[in-house]
């Protein structure tokens, strides 16, 4: 006989972990208890050694969505053997840190929904302790039904019995519901008039989808827009109405076999699709896939997800085809969550509305992952992941970090960890800024936070910077401005728990530099105390500044101008016509409205424009993505990018540009030019790393969303014996900036 005290960490709260512990303890005839504590679960078990060993083995192998990261066991004196119980949680202040993420329908619930005769047959809101809404319905903590948007639905007798039965899969499942007592669905026409309820609403919605109509669906974390993804005209119509020209749409597939018929699927990608987070996974589409071209123009990739609520499953299974499933908004505003808001904002887009009466407390987008050289990496962290911690940190202060401007998110550093919020979208609209402010309020309340420091970007005009200045004043906190690319590198250090010096390649779109110019092709030496800019791309000018983001030819003009002004002038006239071309040329010549930049993202744009990938991009990085896909089909040797001796070291792209132009003019295939460009950058990375010979290399910034560049850079550097770190749980793009700000500000204060 023995008694063990166990502390379990991992994903162990809000996922049915305590009933699981209860069942296995009882199964092995053990005495003791299990209890939720702040951010962890405490267990005491007493019994025969064999039984304890068997219990520990099963405990460590807890199934998703639960995940055991660590079990710390200590021997304890035996006590009277009381039967195993679930003890009530510690005082509420101690369990505040528990805020579970929304989880996709589990296999058991899927089976119930699909089985005629079951109480919840075809019920769109079926869930249990292992699945269902969480973060999107929580109003305050601790996480109990009375503090969720399910509070208005009184449990029927059958649901109440399940809720109270410790042996039931729905023991203490806060959003528990059934057709008798839970939320319902109904269908409205475009004018907002109800036309059907329940099953009839589902049937009609499916008929509309299959006849090419656009459906606004009130989903889990907000309204989404759906249409038949095999119908090119329907997809085009959605693009026109949503004013989204080319950015790929995510697709909802009925099941895994349908995905397999449309895309190549590796083991890791399949696992990501099927996981409880059920993100959108970027996959390579197979030729002949039944997917309309307008879904992802000019891209060999499609973003695919499987149904994560019974409502999505019922719709897409009945439609029996892939559906476009994109967030319900105009351009990049936050999603609509309320029906009235949706009717107003989406009325001109949708032909009908399928809605329900379970309020959505906060918008939560679909997450996005893709497989990289190191396994799956999260590019947009939202549903299923938020608001879970992404890093452990030993920090003397609490920090609230407000992120960047595009792909906004916030992070909170306190009590030894950094928690990252859901993706908040680009802070370009007043509604997006309001969402940022609301998320700050949420985090301060949920995590009982009293930040000593508010961190933000160095950019004076980011909306997040202005909010930070105001919030810091209100909270009486210090403000800490963290340079954008420093934050990119620090985010990766935070994820990997590294304080030792690293060499960071922050290859990015644009960010405000410490010298007031626009940075983006940076090599930084970063340690806990701060950073030093040791190398950067040679500067060039962007005529029209931010407009270059959507017009890659402006970057190309700036680049060519820095090498050969006359050639740039001719190019300006060819591309923009005599009048506009002349304006652009004189802006460059007189250095008016043409900020100096070292941006790698704009270098990508410039090269893409020079190999003639088109005059305009409908979203940032679009043309760089096309360049990557082009390069996959080509072969080419690297072009020279020598170092200019200076401090910081200048990476001189001019010889590369010369080689590019001469090969292009000789008629070398565009794919080969694109391949040479990618090879040049990977080779440049290796030479930079070799020059500084650091213990560790970190890759950060939006350019490393480019899988070809990331893979080649890692391979080259590792072949020479350098250790390379990339982020996987923190987005490599600006969605991860808040984590880096929190990390840098916490260390700067230490």
Rg (CA), the chain: 27
Binding segment (CB under 5 A) for Fe ion, from list 127-135, 506-514, 551-559, 616-624: 506-514
Which residues is 71 bridged to in the sheet?
8
Cβ proximity to Zn ion: between 170 and 407 the closer is 170
Member of 51, 128, 336, 674 binding Zn ion (CB under 5 A) = 128
Element (H, E) at 699: strand 696-700
Cβ proximity to Zn ion: between 130 and 459 the closer is 130
Q: Which does 109 bind (CB under 5 to 8 A by kind): Zn ion, Fe ion, none?
A: Zn ion
Member of 181, 274, 318, 528 binding Zn ion (CB under 5 A) = 181
Element (H, E) at 644: strand 643-644
Element (H, E) at 344: helix 339-346
Distance CA 241, CA 245 (A): 10
Q: Which does 304 bind (CB under 5 to 8 A by kind): Zn ion, Fe ion, none?
A: none
Cβ proximity to Fe ion: between 419 and 738 the closer is 738
Q: How many residues does the chain have?
A: 750
Q: Which does 365 bind (CB under 5 to 8 A by kind): Fe ion, Zn ion, none?
A: none
The mark string for 687-726 relative to Fe ion (x by CB under 5 A, - otherwise) is ----------------------------------------
Least distance between Zn ion and beta carbon 13 (Å): 16
Question: Residue 63: how many CB atoms within 10 A of its CB?
Answer: 12
The site that binds Zn ion (CB under 5 A) totals a number of residues, namely 10
Indicate the SS3 state at residue 401.
Answer: strand
The DSSP 8-state label assigned to residue 338 in this structure reads S
Cβ proximity to Zn ion: between 62 and 685 the closer is 62
Q: Which does 128 bind (CB under 5 to 8 A by kind): Zn ion, Fe ion, none?
A: Zn ion
Distance CA 555, CA 598 (A): 11
Indicate the SS3 state at residue 420.
Answer: strand
Cβ proximity to Fe ion: between 36 and 729 the closer is 729
Contacts of 144 (CB under 8 A, 6+ apart): 174
Is the dihedral angle over the CA atoms 674, 676, 678, 680 positive or is it negative? Answer: negative
Binding segment (CB under 5 A) for Zn ion, from list 177-185, 487-495, 548-556, 654-662: 177-185
Member of 44, 508, 569, 683 binding Fe ion (CB under 5 A) = 508
Cβ proximity to Fe ion: between 95 and 536 the closer is 536
The mark string for 531-550 relative to Fe ion (x by CB under 5 A, - otherwise) is --------------------
Binding segment (CB under 5 A) for Fe ion, from list 52-60, 76-84, 95-103, 727-735: 727-735
Alpha-carbon distances, residue 54 vs 25, 27, 47, 85 (angstroms): 10, 10, 11, 19
The site that binds Fe ion (CB under 5 A) totals a number of residues, namely 2
Binding segment (CB under 5 A) for Fe ion, from list 279-287, 497-505, 711-719, 732-740: 732-740
Interacting residues with Zn ion between 66 and 125 (CB under 5 A): 106, 109
Least distance between Zn ion and beta carbon 276 (Å): 10
Which residues is 280 bridged to in the sheet?
368
Cβ proximity to Zn ion: between 3 and 356 the closer is 356
Least distance between Fe ion and beta carbon 50 (Å): 55
Cβ proximity to Fe ion: between 634 and 727 the closer is 727
Phi, psi of 78 (to 5 degrees): -70, 150
Distance CA 166, CA 452 (A): 42
Does a cis peptide bond (omega within 30 degrees of 0) precede residue 142? yes
Least distance between Fe ion and beta carbon 507 (Å): 9
The DSSP 8-state label assigned to residue 10 in this structure reads E
Question: Does 734 interact with Fe ion (rule: CB under 5 A)?
Answer: yes
Binding segment (CB under 5 A) for Zn ion, from list 57-65, 172-180, 189-197, 677-685: 172-180
Cβ proximity to Zn ion: between 181 and 661 the closer is 181
With CA atoms as reference, report the closest residue to 219 among 260, 262, 250: 250
Give the residue nearest to Fe ion (CB): 508
Query: Residue 397 half-sphere exposure, CB side, CA atoms within 13 Å?
Result: 21
The mark string for 143-162 relative to Zn ion (x by CB under 5 A, - otherwise) is -------------x--x---
Helices (H), 126-197: 157-164
Say if residue 675 is exposed, middle or buried (CB neighbours under 10 Å; 0-12, 13-18, 19+).
Answer: buried
Cβ proximity to Fe ion: between 426 and 508 the closer is 508
With CA atoms as reference, report the closest residue to 136 among 489, 386, 377: 386
Tell me which residues touch Zn ion (CB under 5 A).
Answer: 106, 109, 128, 130-131, 156, 159, 178, 180-181
Tell me which residues touch Fe ion (CB under 5 A).
Answer: 508, 734
């Amino acid at each position: 006989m023995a008694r063990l005290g166990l502390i379990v960490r991992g994903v162990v709260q809000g996922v049915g972990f305590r009933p699981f512990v209860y069942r296995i303890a009882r199964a092995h005839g053990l005495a003791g208890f299990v209890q939720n504590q702040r951010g962890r679960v405490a267990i005491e078990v007493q019994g025969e050694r064999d039984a304890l060993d068997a219990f520990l083995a099963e405990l460590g192998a807890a199934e998703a969505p639960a995940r055991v990261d660590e079990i710390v066991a200590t021997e304890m004196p035996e006590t009277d053997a009381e039967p195993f119980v679930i003890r009530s949680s510690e005082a509420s202040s101690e369990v505040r840190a528990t805020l579970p993420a929304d989880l996709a329908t589990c296999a058991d619930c899927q089976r119930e929904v699909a089985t005629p005769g079951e109480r919840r047959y075809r019920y769109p809101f079926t869930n249990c302790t292992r699945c269902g809404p969480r973060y999107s319905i929580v109003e305050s903590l601790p996480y109990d039904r009375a503090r969720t948007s399910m509070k208005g639905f009184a449990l029927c007798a059958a649901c109440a019995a399940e809720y109270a039965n410790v042996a039931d899969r729905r023991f203490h499942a806060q959003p528990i519901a059934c057709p008798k007592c839970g939320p319902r669905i109904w269908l409205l026409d475009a004018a907002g008039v109800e036309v059907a309820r329940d099953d009839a609403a589902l049937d009609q919605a499916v008929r509309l989808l299959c006849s090419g109509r656009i459906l606004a669906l009130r989903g889990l974390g907000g309204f989404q827009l759906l249409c038949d993804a095999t119908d090119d005209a329907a997809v085009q119509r959605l693009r026109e109405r949503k004013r989204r020209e080319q950015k790929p749409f995510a697709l909802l597939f009925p099941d895994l076999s349908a995905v397999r018929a449309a895309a190549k699927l590796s083991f890791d990608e399949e696992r990501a699709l099927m996981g409880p987070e059920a993100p959108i996974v970027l996959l390579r589409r197979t030729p002949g896939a039944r997917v309309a071209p307008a879904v992802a123009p000019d891209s060999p990739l499609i973003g695919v997800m499987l149904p994560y609520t019974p409502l999505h499953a019922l719709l897409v299974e009945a439609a029996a085809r892939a559906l476009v499933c994109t967030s319900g908004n105009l351009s990049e505003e936050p999603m609509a969550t309320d029906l009235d808001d949706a009717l107003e904002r989406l009325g001109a887009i949708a032909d009908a509305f399928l809605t329900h009466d379970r309020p959505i407390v906060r918008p939560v987008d679909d997450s996005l992952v893709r497989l990289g050289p190191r396994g799956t990496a999260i590019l947009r962290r939202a549903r299923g992941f938020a608001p879970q911690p992404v890093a452990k940190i030993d920090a003397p202060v609490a920090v609230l970090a407000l992120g960047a401007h595009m792909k906004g998110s916030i992070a909170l550093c306190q009590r030894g960890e950094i928690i990252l919020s859901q993706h908040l979208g680009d802070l370009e609209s007043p509604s997006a800024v309001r969402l940022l402010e609301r998320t700050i309020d949420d985090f301060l309340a949920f995590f009982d936070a009293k930040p000593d420091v508010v961190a933000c970007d160095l950019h004076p005009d980011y909306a997040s910077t202005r909010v930070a200045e105001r919030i810091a004043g209100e909270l009486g906190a210090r403000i800490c401005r963290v340079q954008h690319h420093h934050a990119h590198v620090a985010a990766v250090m935070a994820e990997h728990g590294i304080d030792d010096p690293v060499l960071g390649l922050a290859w990015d779109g644009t960010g405000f530099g410490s010298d007031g110019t626009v940075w983006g092709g940076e090599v930084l030496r970063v340690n806990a105390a701060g950073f030093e800019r040791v190398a950067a791309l040679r500067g060039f000018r962007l005529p029209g500044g931010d407009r270059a983001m959507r017009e890659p030819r402006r970057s190309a003009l700036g680049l060519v101008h820095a090498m050969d002004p006359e050639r740039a002038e001719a190019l300006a006239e060819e591309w923009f016509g005599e009048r506009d071309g002349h304006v652009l040329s004189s802006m460059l010549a007189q250095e008016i409205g043409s900020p100096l930049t070292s941006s790698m993202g704009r270098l990508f744009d410039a090269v893409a424009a020079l190999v003639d990938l088109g005059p305009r991009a409908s979203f940032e990085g679009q043309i760089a993505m096309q360049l990557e896909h082009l390069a996959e089909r080509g072969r080419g040797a690297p072009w020279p990018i020598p170092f200019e001796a200076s401090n910081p070291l200048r990476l001189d792209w001019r010889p590369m540009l010369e080689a590019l132009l001469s090969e292009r003019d000789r008629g070398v295939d565009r794919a080969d030019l694109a391949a040479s460009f990618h090879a040049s950058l990977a080779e440049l990375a290796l030479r930079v790393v070799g020059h500084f010979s650091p213990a560790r290399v970190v890759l950060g910034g939006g350019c490393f969303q480019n899988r070809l560049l990331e893979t080649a850079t890692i391979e080259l550097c590792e072949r020479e014996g350098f250790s390379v770190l990339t982020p996987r749980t923190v987005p490599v793009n600006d969605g991860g900036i808040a984590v880096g700000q929190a990390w840098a500000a916490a260390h700067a204060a230490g």
